[in-house]
Structure 1
Amino acid sequence: MGTAGTRRIVVGISGASGFVYGMRLLALLRELEIETHAIVSRGALLTMAHETDYKLADVAALASALYRCDDLAAPISSGSFRTLGMIVAPCSMKSLAEIATGLSSGLIARAADVTLKERRRLVLLARETPYTLTHLRNMAAVTEMGAIVAPPVPAFYAQPATLDEMVAHTLGRVLDLFDLDSRTVHRWKEPALASA
């Protein structure tokens, strides 16, 4: 899992629908004792207000550190700040495009660029449907750069009874990519989990 001081993951929450993915991800990482460095885009603040009852203070309470989306001098904007990688949950098509083209106008795109240049794991929960050709080309571009595009597609074989179970399963599969077991994944043909 790395040396002391590197059990950190950067979490970007961008303006696509699905603010709950970012919040639940921060909660799961906290339970796993992973240090989290969070950024919430301006668009995500609008989505948060429209979709949830959360406030920015709730994000700050879950994250180890919370940065302004325009703070390009934040520690996570440098490759010398060691992390396990970064997850953007959800990832808007705007954020995807900025990452795909190397534009670092905000901290989410800059931190993602740093993650890629340092050859660390970058996972993007691309949230849009249907996709345009531009969306698909941007997904191909980030994949060629080493990122993993993981749209939050529900796994119905897990037979989720609640929205939270569906979200937790998706995020558990994302955390699998970092070799972190959230104990929220109903694995194919494995016995069902006890209450997680």
Structure 2
Amino acid sequence: MSKQFKGQITLALTGASGAAYGVALLSRLVQFGYQVHFLMSEAAKVVVATELQQTWPQQPHELAKYLSEQTQAVPEQIKVYSGLDWFSPVASGSGAPKTMVICPCSGGTLASICHGLSDNLVERAADVILKERGRLILVPRETPFSTLHLQNMLSLSQMGVTIMPAAPGFYHHPQSIDDLIDFMVARILDHLNIDNEVSQRWGHE
């Protein structure tokens, strides 16, 4: 890793609603000087197109360029891998970052991680974090949660995974959707131990 970055974090978007959370988190990680290994499931591409009304490039190097332009990232700050790139650093404990966030995290992805299926790179990267005893944060966006969802989340929590449902607060009197998104992004950054003032905190003016 280049010394110009404060650290490395793997960020994955999957097929749950809430793509805007992941995109905002990517922008903040870049802003705070982290190198991001970026992954998307096939379903996430559909969600991005539907919710954000954006058409992202399909090829990893083109997507990396696009996201870098959108976030004003420096060269090599955003690394993008295809869903089956088993030779990428995130696929192996010897090369992967020790921290990963899946935001948003679908119920299917959550179940696959819980049971170690590793059918695609997102699931494999999460499996690597678990086996290496790293930090894994999952941001499920589903309602209501089924018993299976809850059982899988409990099992993952018992493995040391942080479960952070996309449930923004309202005590900061949000004035826009962006305020609600920033609330969740700020909480995720807190759990990544990244100092930030992205959203107003309880008890602070």
TM-score (structure 1 length as normaliser): 0.91
Match of 1:67 in 2: 81
Change (3 A) 1:29 1:190: same
CA distance in 1, matches of 2:55, 2:197: 27
Q: Unaligned 5+ residue runs, structure 1?
A: 192-196
3-state secondary structure, aligned to 2:9:
strand
Match of 1:194 in 2: none
Aligned residues of 2:136 and 2:162 also touching (Cα < 8 A): yes
Structure 2 counterpart of 1:98 = 112
Q: Secondary structure at the match of 1:141?
A: helix
Q: Percent identity?
A: 35
Q: Which structure 2 segments of 5+ residues have no match? A: 69-76
CA distance 1:59–1:28, change in 2 (3 Å)? farther
> Do the aligned partners of 2:16 and 2:141 also contact (CA within 8 Å) in 1?
yes
Q: How does 1:33-112 map to 2 (within 5 A)?
A: 33-57=33-57, 60=64, 61-62=67-68, 64-112=78-126
2: distance between equivalents of 1:156 and 1:136?
24
Q: 2:192 corresponds to which residue?
A: 178
User: Partner letter of residue 107 of structure 1?
Assistant: L
Q: CA deviation at 1:80?
A: 1.3
Does structure 2 retain, via aligned residues, the 8 Å contact 1:21–1:89?
yes
Aligned counterpart for 2:204 among listed residues 174, 190, 193: 190
Q: How many angstroms apart in 2 are the aligned matches of 1:59 and 1:186?
A: 32
Query: Is 1:29 aligned with 2:22?
Result: no
Distance 1:82 1:43, change over 3 A: closer
2:71: which partner in 1? none
**Aligned residue pairs, count:** 189
Match of 2:72 in 1: none
Deviation at 1:190, TM superposition (A): 1.1
2:187 paired with 1:168: no
- Note if contact 1:28-1:182 (Cα within 8 Å) is conserved in structure 2: no
Q: Does 1:157 align with 2:171?
A: yes
Is the 1:6–1:83 Cα contact (8 Å) retained in structure 2?
no
Residues 3-62 of structure 1 show CA distances to partners (whole Å, capped at 9, x for unaligned) of 957701000100000111111111000000100001010000111111112232495224
Cα-to-partner distance string for 1:62-115 (whole Å, 9 max, x where unaligned): 461011112222111111125240000000001000100011001111101111
C-alpha contact 2:89 2:96 (8 A) present in aligned 1: no
Using the size of structure 2 for normalisation, the TM-score is 0.87
Amino acid at match of 2:24: R
Query: RMSD across aligned C-alpha pairs, in angstroms?
Result: 1.8
Distance 1:170 1:87 in 2: 13
Distance 1:173 1:85 in 2: 15
Q: Which is worse superposed, 81-90 or 141-150?
A: 81-90
Distance between the aligned counterparts of 1:181 and 1:170, measured in 2?
Answer: 14
